Structure 1
Amino acid sequence: MGERVVAITGGHGVLGRAAVEAALAQGLKVAVIDHASGHAVPEGVLEVGGVDLTDAKAAAQAMEAVVARFGRLDALLNIAGGFVWQAVEGGGDEWDWMHALNLKTTLNASRAALAHLKASAEGRIVNVGAHGALKAAHGMGAYAASKSAVHRLTEALADELKSTSVTVNAVLPSIIDTPANRADMPDADPARWVAPADLAAAILFLASPEARAITGALVPVTGRV
């Protein structure tokens, strides 16, 4: 089958870096697509920086850069996204921001990658949803709505692509053990959260040929929260 190529959006973030490490450990060719640029990446990894994935043309150009470098694309890991806590009352443009950052980036990257993924014998898209989007709590409305939309996109695209080689799934993490979350919740026990490496392992499994029988799944990855 040759060396599989994986593109990771948001590859400079905490989870993105864990996914890069996991992919390299499996012998995959890796491209990092991120709004940020100039970060150090492991040897052999392609960095496509300065990409605004809320722009469909920019997303398409990024995927073309990956294929120009490696000659193919087998898996897309849509990790780019963000979080904001804000009550509905007194809020501002958080809903538009979360929609753009979480849903639009995933949609644009997926559309841009589809033609290349269909050319793979085992094409894969893995999205990052959120367990907290299954039932939104106080302050979680904008974030949960955007991630719920990612869930619906995952299901719809998986059904749309059933006649192709491409599967589409999503992981639904609870709290990820990141420096930002530790700072925001100093009294919590991060040992109960989801380690980035563990979440990356779940993502890489769904991106593997061995997961060919799974599509349209929303997989909870919740640690012991």
Structure 2
Amino acid sequence: MQDKVVIVTGAFGALGRVVATSLARRGARLALVDASGTVPDALASEFVAHLLLPGIDLANHEATQAMVAQVVARYGALDAVVNIAGGFRWETVADGDPATWDTLFTMNLKTALHVCKASLPHLLDREGARIVNIGAGAAAKAAAGMGAYAASKAGVLRLTEALAEETKDRGLTVNAVLPGIIDTPANRRDMPQADFSRWVAPEALADVVAFLLSDAARAITGAGIPVMGRI
């Protein structure tokens, strides 16, 4: 990853921060993008040499295009994208709000679509170009209360597969990781009785992302890779 220019979305969150740290240690030059309008002090200190882009509305295609242009203006190139931005809601179909489906499709699928589309002109025909999307293990089968979330993440996987087919002869690989429950502070608060040791550590997931960005994964495209821990 030495000197590779990588956009990481959702970069101020628990997983995004760990992925960013992992890539920075491997020598990548990062653009850390987040919807939050405030950069946490600790993050600003750790990534002082990188480009921090708070307050970016990835649900807006024009704003996303402007973000990518800003990254290319700063670094002169773009080598890879890691789409982490997204969200979760637990609602049953019977008692939930149909608007939640629109919300999660926007948060999880449309943001990834916009970043992929805005980045393509800079990634196509660039040697070693990569896109890694964060899907979910739930994309394969929805549990109760996870219909909207699972459907949106299934959309991320279908986006990954379609874009990989479109670009497989243009020097770009497009893959998704499909994690189970990630060991984050928010998930620990929501499920305090769970055995956290069985969940996916963010550092372990970051290692899989880094692999897919590397030359070692050059023959892999269109894959959805389960990273389920021991669930």
Q: TM-score, normalised by structure 2?
A: 0.95
Look up the equivalent residue of 2:59 and give its one-letter code. T
Q: In the superposition, relative to structure 1, how do residues 203 and 2 fare at CA in structure 2: closer, same or farther (>3 Å)? A: closer
SS in 1 for 2:31: strand
**CA distance in structure 2 between the aligned counterparts of 1:125 and 1:133, rounded to whole angstroms:** 19
Q: In the superposition, relative to structure 1, how do residues 2 and 90 fare at CA in structure 2: closer, same or farther (>3 Å)? A: closer
**CA distance in structure 1 between the aligned counterparts of 2:120 and 2:31, rounded to whole angstroms:** 16
The yes-or-no answer on 1:127 pairing with 2:127 is: no
What residue is the counterpart of 2:186 in the other structure? 180
The yes-or-no answer on 1:31 pairing with 2:36 is: no
CA contact (8 A) 2:2 2:28 kept: no
Q: CA RMSD in A?
A: 1.2
1:184-223 alignment runs, 5 A limit: 184-223=190-229
1:28-177 alignment runs, 5 A limit: 28-39=28-39, 40-41=43-44, 42-92=47-97, 93-177=99-183
Gap runs ≥5 in structure 1: none
SS in 1 for 2:52: strand
Aligned-pair distance for 1:2?
A: 7.1
Gap runs ≥5 in structure 2: none
**CA distance in structure 2 between the aligned counterparts of 1:14 and 1:125, rounded to whole angstroms:** 20
Q: Which 4+ stretches in 1 moved above 4 angstroms?
A: none
Identity %: 51
**CA distance in structure 2 between the aligned counterparts of 1:119 and 1:133, rounded to whole angstroms:** 30
Aligned-pair distance for 1:90?
A: 2.1
Instruction: Tell me whether 74-83 or 31-40 shows the greater mean CA deviation.
Output: 31-40
**CA distance in structure 1 between the aligned counterparts of 2:2 and 2:90, rounded to whole angstroms:** 44
CA contact (8 A) 1:102 1:146 kept: yes
**CA distance in structure 2 between the aligned counterparts of 1:46 and 1:210, rounded to whole angstroms:** 27
**CA offsets per residue over residues 46-82 of structure 1, 9 Å max, x none?**
0111111011001101111111111111000000001
Q: How many residues align?
A: 225
Instruction: Tell me whether 159-168 or 117-126 shows the greater mean CA deviation.
Output: 117-126
**CA offsets per residue over residues 6-47 of structure 1, 9 Å max, x none?**
000000011100111000110010110111133133121101
